[in-house]
């Protein structure tokens, strides 16, 4: 992996947010519509947390709670761990590994959410750019957390 590669080089820049007071059902529907496993909660200017499919499964479904009555803020993960656009891919990967994350919101110099960096993005890039990492990444994605 080239030392010059930065998060901004491979991050996704289209980010959908969900409001903290939205019902969990709304977040789950949006995740399904745009085919993602997580949504940032709040706005680009004020990231309040992250809600993941696992948050919904463990904190709502497993407890038998009503997704129409429970607000996103009640099941979201916080604080949100983020990386910066200028961070190296290596630094972002270390952060993801340290926190057992598959996705990181990316912030710009103003501290606003500017994109997402996902394990899938990293894997696709690294599998094309660095063939020796294929087996390690395959094992990570098959047995990883969050």
Q: Residue 84 and residue 77: Cα distance in Å, rounded? A: 19
The Cα 44–Cα 14 span in angstroms is 11
Q: How far apart are CA 70 and CA 22, in angstroms?
A: 8
- Here the tokens at position 107 are 């912030």
CATH code for residues 7-142: 3.10.580.10
Does the predicted TM-score (pTM) go above 0.95?
Answer: no
Which of 29-38, 43-52, 96-105, 132-141 has the least mean pLDDT? 132-141
The DSSP output letter for 3 is: T
Residue whose tokens read 């409001």: 19
Give the residue-averaged pLDDT of 103-128.
90
58-87 average pLDDT score:
96
Question: Stretch 52-77: mean pLDDT, rounded?
Answer: 96
């Amino acid at each position: 992996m080239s030392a010059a590669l930065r998060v901004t080089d491979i991050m996704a820049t289209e980010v959908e947010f969900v409001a903290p007071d939205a019902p969990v059902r709304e977040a789950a529907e949006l995740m399904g519509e745009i085919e993602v496993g997580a949504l940032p909660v709040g706005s680009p200017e004020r990231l309040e947390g992250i809600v993941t499919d696992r948050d919904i499964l463990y904190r709502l479904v497993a407890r038998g709670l009503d997704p129409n009555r429970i607000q996103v803020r009640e099941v979201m993960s916080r604080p949100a761990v983020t990386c910066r656009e200028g961070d190296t891919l290596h630094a972002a990967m270390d952060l993801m590994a340290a926190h057992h994350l598959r996705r990181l919101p990316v912030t710009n110099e103003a501290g606003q959410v500017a994109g997402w960096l996902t394990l899938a993005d990293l894997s696709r890039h690294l599998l094309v750019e660095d063939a020796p990492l294929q087996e390690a990444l395959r094992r990570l994605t098959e047995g990883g957390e969050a």
